[in-house]
């Protein structure tokens, strides 16, 4: 059955097929759901800009016999808005695809609606894993692509006494739980674990507890303004207490990127973060992407994994639609799984078994100028393992301890 | 806070005792993502391969005699697949000794937690059952303990606390429960527990 002969289920809305429609480019509504206001607005803006850039490129490229019509909504980091906005996109505006959500609570709020309308959510942020929904494409890093490589790098070099902080929701809780498992498997110790309410900037007690516990490093899973307040206070503490200096006791992260560094300022210097893309990567694909970003947003604009990955999500969707001739989700998914699209990340593949992207994690250190210096790269892309099925804590611990013997730095 | 180890089902085999349909294929697909292999069977499971670690079954159409084990005594965790919530169906499902359930139509969300909860509660129930059996045995042997305590008290004119302490020390030394030790101890072996100078019974006290 071709897409043309399929009965039109929604009176033309979303039931697009361009085979045999050569006269005018078809218009495909595309939902874009990012919080560009609220506590993590900097991330939301990076995501939205990336999606816009991808959309503009598709719409101006004659190779695609269709145009995307953006349907943009801003839930403002308010969990009450996700359901209504996504439902309006799917029911009233004919969208079959939504690119969006940043936090896991946002994503989990949208998924039931996405399933109800049998649509596709393109989720491209790092997240805590343990999810695999048929109606979601996951192109951000999951734990075996972020916290595991980050701790494999850190534990042998900085030591195994770790302090965990996070915002009080699933990302912080679960990423810290995985971190605890990694630390314990290595024979290390979690010397403290504390959470702050969303948007809370009450970080003084955290700093004092870290001063008392003297961990080797601090994993920061706070988000947005809580994270900025914490980093500022930590930086301030280093003035009078050298143990807080980044070379002695770094703050590390799985989700802090260039999107936020400029606003954090000097307090971020020395922070160690893992991401599947850094703006400072030096290869033909990343150089090309930097040129596009500069042309669209100005020479001073630094991109980040958020910007690049939402851009890629739009390009992947466009390419899959081009390949299958429809925006119908089963056809799009089937076409998507066959693609190996050249993107700023290199050839990008989505695995049909998990709906997740294979990704290459990097580890970077924040520099004074707001960029990340890449200090470690895992050569081949790692297949996503959202349920940590192939993860072996004992083997991880053994590897950390083998490497500790040679790589532990001298503690000042 | 202690570390909760990430549940891992890599290499597991499970049986899905249900008509094969699109929903069951979704279930199998989701299980595959946890490293679990699915075997379908319906309308009856003739025997359970020892390699099978859990059984999902149709709670809506299940009937007595569906399983190859005594009713209500599954050797592996049982997970009911339910659409009906009629009390009669729930009663039948509960009687099978389920460890968790999953609402039909099966979605990708829920399968992992159903498996984690089922394996956890099954293990917990097994451990509790073993503990109950052990306690029942000890309870049954209580009269043996009383007999032994009375014997030691008679042999050495000890009070009951001291007699019991003497017996408990002997049991611990032999790595037995007090009850198991008492069940095998006769008067001669109890006499052997007492200090040498007292064993004759006629030497009097210090």
| B105 at interface of A, judged by CB pairs closer than 8 A | no
Give residues with Cβ within 8 angstroms of A191, minimum separation 6.
Answer: A161, A162, A163, A213, A214, A215
SS3 of A166-203: EECCHHHHHHHHHHHHHHHHCCCEEEEEEEECCCCCCC
Please state the φ and ψ torsions of residue A344, each to the nearest 5 degrees.
Answer: -60, -15
pLDDT in tens, B145-187: 999 999 999 998 889 999 999 999 999 999 999 999 999 999 8
**A246 closest CA partner among A234, A259, A258, A256:** A234
Contacting residues of B for A393, CB less than 8 Å apart: 5-6
Contacting residues of A for B28, CB less than 8 Å apart: none
| B47 at interface of A, judged by CB pairs closer than 8 A | no
ipTM of the complex: 0.83
Note whether B53 and B89 are same-domain residues: yes
- Contact yes or no for B107 and A180 at CB 8 A: no
Note whether B146 and B167 are same-domain residues: yes
Interface test with B, best of A112, A114, A120, A134 (most B CBs within 10 A): A134
Compare all CA atoms of chain A with the CA of B5 and give the residue at the minimum distance: A181
Alpha-helix runs per DSSP H in A223-343 = 224-240, 258-264, 284-297, 305-324, 329-338
Structural domains of chain B, count: 2
Determine the longest span between alpha carbons in chain A, in angstroms.
73
Nearest-CA distance B133 → chain A (Å): 35
Q: The tokens of A70 are what?
A: 């953006």
- CATH number, position B62: 3.40.50.2300
- Contact yes or no for B6 and A178 at CB 8 A: yes
This prediction's pTM: 0.87
Compare all CA atoms of chain A with the CA of B29 and give the residue at the minimum distance: A353
Note whether B86 and B153 are same-domain residues: no
C-alpha A92/C-alpha A11 separation (Å) is 12
CA distances to A221, B154, B157 from B206, rounded to whole Å, are: 72, 17, 12
- Contact yes or no for A177 and B108 at CB 8 A: no
| A393 at interface of B, judged by CB pairs closer than 8 A | yes
Note whether B145 and B131 are same-domain residues: no
Note whether B114 and B193 are same-domain residues: no
Nearest-CA distance A303 → chain B (Å): 33
Answer whether residue B114 is part of any domain.
yes
| A72 at interface of B, judged by CB pairs closer than 8 A | no
- Contact yes or no for B26 and A134 at CB 8 A: yes
**A352 closest CA partner among A360, A364, A343, A340:** A340
Note whether B150 and B130 are same-domain residues: no
| B109 at interface of A, judged by CB pairs closer than 8 A | yes
Q: What pLDDT sits at residue A246?
A: 95
| B22 at interface of A, judged by CB pairs closer than 8 A | no
Interface test with A, best of B1, B2, B5, B6 (most A CBs within 10 A): B6
Q: Which residue ranges form the domains of chain A, and what is each CATH number?
A: 3-140+282-348 (3.40.50.2300), 144-280+361-407 (3.40.50.2300)
Last residue of some domain: B118, B137, B156? B137
Q: What is the residue-averaged pLDDT of chain B?
A: 91
> Residue A219, SS3?
strand
Q: For residue A377, what are the β-bridge partners?
A: A362
Say if residues A198 and A168 touch (Cβ distance below 8 Å).
Answer: yes
Answer whether residue B157 is part of any domain.
yes
Q: What value does the CA radius of gyration of chain B take, rounded to a whole number of Å? A: 27
For residue B204, what pLDDT band results from cuts at 50, 70 and 90? very low
For residue B196, what pLDDT band results from cuts at 50, 70 and 90? low
Task: Count Cβ–Cβ pairs < 8 Å, chain A vs chain B.
Answer: 46
Answer whether residue B6 is part of any domain.
no
Note whether B37 and B102 are same-domain residues: yes
For residue B5, what pLDDT band results from cuts at 50, 70 and 90? confident
Q: The tokens of B167 are what?
A: 């017996």
| A81 at interface of B, judged by CB pairs closer than 8 A | no
- Contact yes or no for B5 and A353 at CB 8 A: no
> Which DSSP string corresponds to A80-121?
GGHHHHHHHHHHTS--SEEEE--SHHHHHHHHHHHHHTT-EE
Interface test with A, best of B3, B11, B37 (most A CBs within 10 A): B3
Q: Encode A64-78: b = buried (16+ Cβ within 10 Å), e = exposed.
A: bebbbebbbbbbebe
C-alpha A280/C-alpha A152 separation (Å) is 22
Choose the closest CB to A115 out of B1, B32, B107: B107
Choose the closest CB to A180 out of B3, B9, B112: B3
C-alpha B143/C-alpha A408 separation (Å) is 63
- Contact yes or no for A131 and B109 at CB 8 A: yes
| A378 at interface of B, judged by CB pairs closer than 8 A | no
C-alpha A15/C-alpha A30 separation (Å) is 13
Note whether B112 and B157 are same-domain residues: no
Q: The tokens of A87 are what?
A: 């439902």
Instruction: Provide the 8-state DSSP code for A163.
Output: E
Choose the closest CB to A132 out of B9, B10, B108: B108
Tokens 């955290």 correspond to what residue?
A206
Instruction: Provide the 8-state DSSP code for A380.
Output: S
Nearest-CA distance B10 → chain A (Å): 6
Last residue of some domain: B99, B121, B137? B137
SS3 of chain B: CCCCCCCCCCCCEEEEECCCCHHHHHHHHHHHHCCCEEEEECCCCCCCCCCEEEEEEECCCCCCCCCCCCCCCCCCCEEEEECCCCHHHHHHHHHCCCCEEEECCCCCCCHHHHHHHHHHHHHHHHHHHHHHHHHHHHHHCHHHHHHHHHHHHHHHCCCHHHHHHHHHHHHHHCCCCHHHHHHHCCHHHHHCCCCHHHCCCCCCCC
How do strand B52-58 and strand B78-82 relate by DSSP bridges?
parallel
Q: What pLDDT sits at residue A199?
A: 87
pLDDT in tens, A341-394: 999 998 999 999 999 999 999 999 999 888 999 999 987 899 999 999 999 999
Answer whether residue B145 is part of any domain.
yes
Answer whether residue B2 is part of any domain.
no
**Within 10 A of B74 (CB to CB), how many other CB atoms are there?**
19
Q: What pLDDT sits at residue A379?
A: 77
Note whether B97 and B190 are same-domain residues: no
Give residues with Cβ within 8 angstroms of B85, minimum separation 6.
Answer: none
Last residue of some domain: B103, B118, B137? B137
Compare all CA atoms of chain A with the CA of B36 and give the residue at the minimum distance: A389
Say if residues A86 and A98 touch (Cβ distance below 8 Å).
Answer: yes
Note whether B38 and B104 are same-domain residues: yes
Say if residues B45 and B68 touch (Cβ distance below 8 Å).
Answer: yes
Compare all CA atoms of chain B with the CA of A385 and give the residue at the minimum distance: B33
Answer whether residue B1 is part of any domain.
no
Q: Encode B161-170: b = buried (16+ Cβ within 10 Å), e = exposed.
A: eebbebbeeb
| A391 at interface of B, judged by CB pairs closer than 8 A | yes
Q: For residue A68, what are the β-bridge partners?
A: A28
> Residue A243, SS3?
helix
Q: Give the DSSP H or E segment for A205.
A: helix A204-213
Answer whether residue B8 is part of any domain.
no
Note whether B164 and B131 are same-domain residues: no
State which residues of chain A have pLDDT below 70: 1-24, 408-412
Cα dihedral: A120, B36, B89, B106 (round 10): 0
Answer whether residue B3 is part of any domain.
no
| A45 at interface of B, judged by CB pairs closer than 8 A | no
Residue B163's domain comprises 141-198
Contacting residues of B for A388, CB less than 8 Å apart: 6, 8
- Contact yes or no for B4 and A134 at CB 8 A: no
Contacting residues of B for A194, CB less than 8 Å apart: none
Contacting residues of B for A184, CB less than 8 Å apart: 3
Percent of chain A with pLDDT over 70: 93
Say if residues A206 and A230 touch (Cβ distance below 8 Å).
Answer: yes
- Contact yes or no for B35 and A390 at CB 8 A: yes
Choose the closest CB to A389 out of B3, B35, B109: B35
SS3 of B20-60: CCHHHHHHHHHHHHCCCEEEEECCCCCCCCCCEEEEEEECC
Question: Angle of helix A147-158 relative to helix A393-407, nearest 10 degrees?
Answer: 40
Cα dihedral: A7, A11, A16, A22 (round 10): 100
Q: What pLDDT sits at residue A300?
A: 87
Tokens 């996951």 correspond to what residue?
A138
Say if residues B9 and B115 touch (Cβ distance below 8 Å).
Answer: yes
| A23 at interface of B, judged by CB pairs closer than 8 A | no
| B107 at interface of A, judged by CB pairs closer than 8 A | yes
Nearest-CA distance A388 → chain B (Å): 8
Note whether B96 and B25 are same-domain residues: yes
First to last CA, chain A: 70
Q: What is the residue-averaged pLDDT of chain A?
A: 92
Whether the CA torsion A224, A196, A193, A105 is positive or negative: it is: negative
Contacting residues of B for A181, CB less than 8 Å apart: 3-6
CA distances to A51, A93, A118, A289, B151 from A358, rounded to whole Å, are: 20, 32, 25, 20, 75
Q: What pLDDT sits at residue A7?
A: 39
Instruction: Provide the 8-state DSSP code for A353.
Output: T
């Amino acid at each position: 059955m071709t897409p043309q002969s399929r009965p039109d289920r929604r009176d033309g809305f979303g039931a697009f097929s361009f085979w045999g429609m050569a006269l005018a480019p078809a218009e495909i509504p595309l939902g874009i759901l990012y919080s560009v206001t609220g506590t993590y607005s900097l991330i939301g803006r990076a995501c939205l800009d990336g999606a816009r850039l991808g959309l503009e490129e598709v719409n101006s490229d004659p190779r695609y016999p269709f145009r995307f019509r953006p349907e943009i909504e801003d839930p403002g980091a308010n969990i009450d808005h996700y359901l209504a906005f996504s439902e309006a996109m799917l029911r009233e505006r004919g969208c079959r695809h939504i690119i969006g959500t940043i936090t896991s609570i946002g994503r989990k709020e949208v998924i039931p609606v996405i399933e109800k309308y049998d649509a596709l959510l393109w989720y491209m942020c790092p997240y805590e894993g343990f999810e695999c929904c048929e109606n979601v494409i996951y192109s951000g890093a999951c734990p075996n692509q972020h916290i595991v490589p980050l701790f494999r790098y850190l534990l042998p070099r900085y030591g195994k006494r770790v302090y965990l902080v996070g915002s009080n929701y699933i990302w912080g809780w679960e990423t810290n739980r995985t971190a605890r498992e990694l630390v314990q498997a290595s024979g290390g110790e979690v010397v403290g674990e504390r959470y702050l309410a969303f948007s809370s900037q009450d970080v003084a007690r955290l700093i004092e507890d870290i001063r008392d516990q003297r961990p080797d490093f601090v994993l920061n899973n706070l988000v947005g303004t809580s994270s900025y307040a914490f980093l500022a206070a930590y930086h301030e503490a280093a003035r009078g207490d050298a143990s807080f200096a980044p070379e002695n006791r770094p703050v590390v992260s799985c989700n802090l990127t260039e999107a936020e560094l400029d606003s954090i300022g000097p307090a971020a210097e020395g922070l160690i973060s893992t991401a599947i893309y850094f703006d400072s990567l030096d290869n033909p694909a990343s150089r090309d992407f930097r040129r596009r970003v500069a042309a669209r947003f100005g020479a001073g604009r630094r991109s980040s994994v958020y910007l690049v990955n939402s851009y890629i999500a739009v390009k992947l969707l466009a390419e899959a639609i081009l390949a299958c001739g429809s925006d119908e989700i089963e056809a799009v998914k089937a076409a998507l799984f066959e693609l190996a699209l050249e993107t700023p990340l290199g050839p990008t593949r989505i695995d049909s078994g998990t709906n997740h992207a294979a990704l290459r994690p990097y580890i970077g250190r924040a520099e004074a100028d707001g960029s990340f210096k890449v200090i470690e790269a895992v050569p081949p892309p790692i297949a996503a393992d959202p349920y940590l099925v192939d993860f072996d804590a004992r083997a991880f611990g053994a590897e950390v301890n083998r490497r500790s013997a040679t790589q532990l730095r001298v503690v000042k | 806070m202690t570390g909760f180890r990430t549940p891992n089902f890599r290499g597991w085999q499970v049986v899905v005792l249900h008509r094969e349909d699109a929903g069951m294929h979704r279930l199998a697909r989701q299980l595959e993502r946890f490293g679990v292999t699915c075997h379908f069977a319906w309308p009856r499971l003739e025997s359970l391969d020892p390699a099978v670690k859990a059984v999902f079954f149709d709670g809506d159409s299940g009937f007595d005699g569906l399983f190859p084990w005594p009713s209500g005594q599954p050797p592996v965790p049982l997970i009911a697949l339910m659409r009906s919530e009629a009390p009669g169906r729930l009663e039948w499902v509960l009687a099978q000794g389920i460890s968790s359930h999953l609402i039909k139509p099966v979605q990708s969300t829920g399968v992992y937690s159903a498996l984690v909860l089922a394996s956890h509660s099954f293990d917990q129930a097994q451990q509790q059952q073993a503990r109950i059996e052990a306690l029942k045995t000890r309870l049954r042997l209580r009269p043996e303990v009383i007999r032994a305590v009375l014997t030691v008290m008679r042999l050495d004119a000890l009070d009951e606390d001291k007699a019991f302490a003497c017996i408990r020390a002997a049991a611990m030394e032999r790595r037995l429960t007090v009850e198991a030790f008492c069940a095998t101890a006769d008067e001669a072996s109890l006499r052997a527990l007492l200090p040498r100078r007292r064993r004759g019974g006629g030497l009097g006290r210090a």
